[in-house]
Amino acid sequence: KFILYEYCGPLEELGMNHFENFTKMCSDSFFWYGVHHFLDLHTQHATGNNFYYRMKYSVSSEFPGTLVKRCSVLGETSIGTWAPHVPYIKGVVSHGDEIHYQWTHDKLGVEDSEMSLAITTMWTNFVKVGHPTPDPEDLGVTWEPLTKDDIRQWLMMAMKH
């Protein structure tokens, strides 16, 4: 009850206008807590580099809906998320959304194509040389590996504005 209040305010006033805050609460409780706990334990014994990122880039407004058409698995193609009954909130990025930037190149606008190239380059670099940004000049960013003393160090994937 106290945690819900911290994210959304008084329970009596809880409504759809709190959907984004409620989603953040669920993400923190059910996803990020587990990720951080795992990394805290894992980095104590890891022998190689570990890299952590958070995706904050949402599809650009140039081609609205191109990357949020995910219901074809269910036999329909409508703008929504993996769960079509959940409202689409522009700017909110869901777990796994970055996967679309690897596979839908022909449907991307200019800004989205730049993000797609950056993600694909970092993943390819990691596979080839064990580091996503071996030459910071290439992408203009250095992605530092986690350390056992600092697991909250992540790369925030977002476009430069």
Q: Which residues pair with 150 in a beta bridge?
A: 147
Q: Which residues pair with 69 in a beta bridge?
A: 79
Q: Which residues pair with 53 in a beta bridge?
A: 155
Q: Which pLDDT value is given to residue 91?
A: 67
Q: Which pLDDT value is given to residue 84?
A: 53
Q: pLDDT band at 77, cuts 50/70/90?
A: very low
Q: Give yes or no for residue 140 having a pLDDT over 90.
A: no
- One-letter amino acid at 161 equals H
- One-letter amino acid at 105 equals H
Q: Which pLDDT value is given to residue 75?
A: 38
DSSP string, 40-55: HHHTTT--S----EEE
Q: Which pLDDT value is given to residue 31?
A: 84
pLDDT tens-digit map of 9-54: 888 888 888 878 888 888 888 888 888 899 999 999 999 899 988 8
